[in-house]
Structure 1
Amino acid sequence: MAEDGKVYLNVLKKIEEIIQIDQLYAGDKLPSERDLAERLQASRSSVREALRALELLDLIETRKGEGTFIQEPGSYRLAEILASFFLKDEQARQDVTETRRIIEIEAVRLGCKRASEGQLASLRRLIIESRTSWSKGVVPVEEDYLFHKTLMECSHNNLMLNIWRPLVEYSKIVLRDSLAREGRTDDSIIEHQKIYEAMLARDEEMVIHTLKCHLKNSQF
């Protein structure tokens, strides 16, 4: 394998092949750095660089004294890092808003059928916590975020949740500005209540309508 500044990209592809060939899954240990270098006929420095890239993506975890293990899919840190840059661009922010809207609407459509009693109870609890925070003069940014995250979880579709999360986590400052508008926090809590009631009734048409209105009113 030719050594150059980009060789680790080829090593990344080869590591993926090894994971498939060896039938490794989340929680399984990867071959050692030395073994990977031998199997890939690459330098240990290139293998090390490739492993660092995988660790940035949260796809592997290095445990001191134990080795390197495959991670459960979850946070996709690279997507979150990129999102923080995208949100500096006006067109990108519009794209994020539009994509979020599409994902959340489809999530609540599924959630009407799949939401557990525990998840519905969590939605209700977060509305109560929002009211409590706001009564103390604290803008309920975190409660708002968690309400929408719970809506996503009601879909029981982890891929949709993992796509949605970086779109929203890095726009909390925009959310805070939106809720800070005069009367907006009170209106937002009322809208959350309507969304919850529609979810509780398993009324797909109503929950989609109320969510669309809420997302439109939340734009800043």
Structure 2
Amino acid sequence: MTDIDNTQKRLMQTGLFRTENDAVKFMIARIINDNISPIGAWTLKEKLTRQGLDYGTATVGRYLKELDSQSLTIQQSNQGRILTEHGKHWLSDISNNVARAQIHNKTSKALKIDNYSDLIDLIQARKAIEVTGVSLAVNQATEEDLSRLKQSVINHYRCVAEKQDPTESALNFHLTLAEISHNRFIKAILDMLVFEEESIENNMNQLITRDRGDIYVVEHDDIATAIVERNEKKATSLMTHHMDALLSAVREQIELMSNEDHVS
């Protein structure tokens, strides 16, 4: 057998298959499903070879027997295998999960940032998401949610007062807001964006946004107050202003880093 082909690699990267054999069985089932007539081991072997998997007919036959034993395929006289109804449903479910996982993997790669300058795009994305999140929070947050939001502001104030790095407590405020919006997509996307932001900022000794914790905590307090008052217009306006301030700070940081590079 040759090295694992790209198709099998991509399937394994989805995390949906426990073993490489499971991925191969899925590939075989997909080939059978795509064939308009029953298909035998020899033809399957040829199709797998074109996909980069060099199996012998005996090995393919063993995979087919496993699929038979799981009631996913059935022998149709001497013409070859077809999928059973159970096999068709199984393949459809797995195919949907594979497509979803591959999109997730692509999204994760697209969100990965390597340079601080990428934070401009990231904060702009955060702004679009978080202003919407604030609007939802105003209308959907429970009293318990609001208590958690106010506590996150208190924790932020404590970090600033004790001259600790306020980055984590500041981001926690934003993540809490996303959570109390009760929109799981907003929370999931923000989780990914914040993870990437932290991976860059944690490696920086000097950070303008870190130095402005005393300003941002007041802005967080104002946003939280507007949400508690159920004032959607004010809350979204304050969040828009806050995210614009973060964008300005990031641009300042980039300019500062550029000037330092020129000096050195």
TM range (shorter): 0.5 to 0.7
Distance between the aligned counterparts of 1:11 and 1:137, measured in 2?
A: 48
Residue 146 of structure 1 deviates from its aligned partner by 0.8
Percent sequence identity over matched residues? Answer: 20
Residue 115 of structure 1 deviates from its aligned partner by 0.9
Residue 77 of structure 1 deviates from its aligned partner by 7.3
Q: How does 1:155-194 map to 2 (within 5 A)?
A: 155-172=181-198, 173=201, 177-181=207-211, 184-194=212-222
Residue 39 of structure 1 deviates from its aligned partner by 5.0
Report the counterpart of residue 5 of structure 1 in structure 2.
5
Query: What count of residue pairs does the alignment treat as equivalent?
Result: 174
Residue 78 of structure 1 deviates from its aligned partner by 6.8
Residue 87 of structure 1 deviates from its aligned partner by 4.5
User: Which of the two has greater helix per residue?
Assistant: 2
Deviations 1:94-149 (A, max 9, x none): 22121110000111111111112222111111111112122221022111111000
In the alignment, which of 80, 91, 98 is matched to residue 124 of structure 2? 98
Question: Is the counterpart of residue 206 in structure 1 residue 234 in structure 2?
Answer: yes
What RMSD over aligned residues (CA atoms) do the two structures have, in Å?
3.6
Distance between the aligned counterparts of 1:171 and 1:35, measured in 2?
A: 36
Which range is displaced more, 187-196 or 124-133? 124-133
Distance between the aligned counterparts of 2:24 and 2:5, measured in 1?
A: 16
Q: Is the 8 A contact 1:80 1:170 kept in 2?
A: no
**Please, which runs of 5 or more residues in structure 2 have no aligned partner?**
29-47, 56-96, 250-264
Q: Label 1:217 to 1:89 Cα distance change in 2 as closer, same or farther (>3 A).
A: closer
Q: Is the 8 A contact 2:179 2:187 kept in 1?
A: yes
Distance between the aligned counterparts of 1:80 and 1:168, measured in 2?
A: 12
Distance between the aligned counterparts of 1:87 and 1:120, measured in 2?
A: 35
User: 2:24 corresponds to which letter in structure 1?
Assistant: A
TM-score, normalising length: structure 1: 0.65
Report the counterpart of residue 129 of structure 1 in structure 2.
155
Distance between the aligned counterparts of 1:131 and 1:10, measured in 2?
A: 46
Q: Label 1:168 to 1:38 Cα distance change in 2 as closer, same or farther (>3 A).
A: closer
Which range is displaced more, 128-137 or 188-197? 128-137
Report the counterpart of residue 171 of structure 2 in structure 1.
145
Q: Label 1:132 to 1:77 Cα distance change in 2 as closer, same or farther (>3 A).
A: farther
**Please, which runs of 5 or more residues in structure 1 have no aligned partner?**
20-29, 46-69
Q: Label 1:6 to 1:214 Cα distance change in 2 as closer, same or farther (>3 A).
A: same
Q: Is the 8 A contact 1:122 1:150 kept in 2?
A: yes
Residue 165 of structure 1 deviates from its aligned partner by 1.6
Distance between the aligned counterparts of 2:8 and 2:22, measured in 1?
A: 16
Distance between the aligned counterparts of 2:221 and 2:105, measured in 1?
A: 32
Report the counterpart of residue 27 of structure 2 in structure 1.
40
Report the counterpart of residue 119 of structure 1 in structure 2.
145
Distance between the aligned counterparts of 1:127 and 1:212, measured in 2?
A: 18
Distance between the aligned counterparts of 1:99 and 1:218, measured in 2?
A: 12
Residue 218 of structure 1 deviates from its aligned partner by 2.2
Q: Label 1:78 to 1:11 Cα distance change in 2 as closer, same or farther (>3 A).
A: closer
